Amino acid sequence: MQAAIPPGPEEVRSRGLPPLWALGALCFLIAAVLVGLTVGPTHISPWMIARSAFAHLFGLRSPLSQQDDAIVWQIRAPAVALGGLVGMMLAVAGASYQGTFRNPLADPYLLGVSEGAGAGATIVIAFFPAAAGTELLPLAAFIGGLVAVALAYLLGNSVARTGGAGALILAGVTIAAFMTAIQTFLQQRQSDTLQQVYAWILGGLSGATWHAVLLVLPWIAISATVLIAHRRILDVLSVGEEEAGSLGVDVRRARVLIVVAATVGTSAAVAVSGLIGFVGIIVPHTIRLLVSSSYRAIVPLSLLVGAGFLILTNVLAETVLSPETLPIGVVTAFFGAPFFAIVLRRTRWVGL
C-alpha cells in the first residue's frame, strides 16, 4: 500500500516546540512565582523565603517568624498556586477553543463558558451554601459551562454555517449575557449570600486557600493533559473539517473531546476564581506572534506563560491600589480588551 520511499531522502520537521522558547517560558514562570511570593505589604526577602521553603521540604524549623511564615505559606503561596493553575487553564482552554472552532477570537469568557460556569456555581452557593467548598461546586460550574458553550456553538452555527469568526463570538456574548442575567438574579434573590457571591464573581485570588487549590487541581490536571495530548490534532484541524476528515481524523469526536476537556478545566477555574476574561486571548496570541502558529508550540507554552501571567496580574491587582485589592478580572480586561481589538483587526471576518 505504501509508496516506495526513494533512497536517501532528507527528513523534514515541523517547528514543534522550540527548546529555547520553552526554556524562556519556564524561566518566566519561575520568576513570576518568586515575584508572587515576595511582593506584598510585608517585606520578606527572597533569600529567606527560599530558606524557609527548604526548611519546610525537609521538615526543619523555618527561619521566618511564625507570622511571616504564615504570610508566605498560607496567604501568598496558595494565591500563587491558584493563580498559576487558573491562568494556565484559561490560556490553554483559549488556545484549544481557537483551534477547534478555527476562530482566533475564541476565549472562555467570550464564548459564555465562564459565565455559564458562574451561573452554575452561583446556584450552588445561593441554594446549597454548605456545599460551596465541596466537589459539587466545580461540578455545577462544569454543567453550566458546558450548556453555555453548546448553546453558543449551536447558535453561532445556525447563523453562519461556514462558521464565520464573528458569528460564534456574537453568539457566545449573547449566551454570556443571558447566563450573567441568571447569575445576577440568583445573587440578588439570596441577599444573605450576596456578599460572598459578589466577591467571588468579580474574580479574585486574594482569599485563596490550599483547600481551593486541591479542589481544582485534579480537574485542571486532567483537562490540561487531554488538551496537550491533542496538540497535533489541533494542527490537523487547521485545514478544516472536510480535509481533516479526509486525513483520517474523526473530526466530530475530536471536537467533542477537546471542547469538553477545555470546558471542564475552565469551569473548575471559574468555580474558585470567578470571572477572569481575556487570558485565553492574550497568552495564545502572544505566542502565535512570537513563536509559531503550530499548536504544538502554542498549547504547551500557553500552559507555562498563562500560569506566570496570571500570577503577575494578581500581584498587580493587589499592589496598584494597595491596601485595597483590585478584582483581578478588571486587570486582565484592562490589558485584554485592547489586545482583543488588535486581534479583531487582524482577523479576516470569514475565519482563521
Partner 1 sequence: MRPAIEALAVGVTLGGTRAVDGVQLSVEPGEWLALIGPNGAGKTTLLRALAGLVSAAGTIRLNGELHSPRRRRRLARTVALVPQLPETPPALTVAEYVLLGRTPHIGYLGREGRADRLAAGAAIDRLGLRAFVERRLGSLSGGERQRVVLARALAQAAPILLLDEPTSALDLGRQQDALELVDELRRQDGLTVISAMHDLSLAGQYADRLALLHLGRVIALGTAQEVLTADTIAGCYGAEVRVLSEDGRVFVLPSRRGRA
Question: Where are the alpha helices (H) located in 11-111, listed in sequence order?
Answer: 19-38, 46-57, 66-70, 77-100
Closest separation in Å from C-beta 88 to partner 1:
20
Residue (76 or 230) nearer to partner 1, CB: 230
CA distances from 217 to 87, 263, 298 (A): 13, 15, 22
Min separation Cβ 228 and partner 1, Å: 10
Smallest distance from partner 1 to CB 61, Å: 47
Binding segment for partner 1 (CB under 8 A), chosen from 2-10, 22-30, 77-85, 119-127, is: 2-10
- Whichever of 71 and 251 has its CB closer to partner 1, that residue is 251
230: contact with partner 1 by CB under 8 A: yes
4 near partner 1 (CB under 8 A)? yes
CB of 284: closest distance to partner 1 in angstroms?
13
Residue in 67, 74, 106, 72 with CA at minimum distance from that of residue 90: 106
Which of 150, 249 has the CB closer to partner 1?
Answer: 249
158 binds partner 1 (CB under 8 A): no
237 grid coordinates: 484541524
Q: How far is the CB of 168 from partner 1 (least distance, A)?
A: 18
Residue 208: CB minimum distance to partner 1, A: 33
Q: Which is nearer to partner 1, 87 or 104 (CB)?
A: 104
| Least distance between partner 1 and beta carbon 332 (Å) | 26
What's the min distance (Å) between Cβ of 13 and partner 1?
A: 6
Please give the residues from 252 up to 291 whose contact with partner 1 meets the rule CB under 8 A: 288
Q: Please state the closest distance from residue 274 (CB atom) to partner 1, in A.
A: 33
**Counting contacts by CB under 8 A, is residue 5 touching partner 1?**
yes
Q: Are 261 and 231 in contact (CB under 8 A)?
A: no
Cell digits for 267?
469551569
Nearer to partner 1, 12 or 130 (CB): 12
Cα–Cα distances (Å) from 311 to 130, 162, 294, in that order, read 29, 38, 26
Give the one residue of 50, 159, 249, 260 binding partner 1; rule: CB under 8 A. Answer: 249
Compute the half-sphere exposure of residue 339: CA atoms within 13 Å on the CB side of its CA.
20
- Under the binding rule (CB under 8 A), the answer on residue 9 touching partner 1 is yes
Please state, as a whole number, how many other Cβ atoms lie within 10 Å of the Cβ of residue 161. Answer: 9
Which string of DSSP letters, residue by residue, matches 200-253?
Answer: HHT---TT--HHHHHHHHHHHHHHHHHHHHTHHHHHHHTT-HHHHHHTT--HHH
Q: Assess 238 for contact with partner 1 (CB under 8 A).
A: yes
| Whole-angstrom distance, CA of residue 1 vs CA of residue 176 | 51
- Binding-site size for partner 1 (CB under 8 A) equals 36
The SS3 assignment for 304 reads helix
**246 lines the binding site for partner 1 (CB under 8 A):** yes
Distances (CA, A) of 79 to 73, 83, 229, 283, 314: 10, 6, 28, 20, 8
**Three-state DSSP state, 158:** helix
19 touches partner 1 (CB under 8 A)? no
Which one of 45, 74, 158, 293 is in contact with partner 1 (CB under 8 A)?
Answer: 293
In terms of Cα–Cα distance, which of 279, 286, 233 is closest to 256? 233
Asked if 303 interacts with partner 1 (CB under 8 A), we say no
Q: Which is nearer to partner 1, 135 or 243 (CB)?
A: 243
Largest CA distance in the chain: 77
Give the footprint of partner 1 on this chain (CB under 8 A): 1-6, 9-15, 229-230, 232-233, 235-236, 238-240, 242-250, 288, 292-294, 352
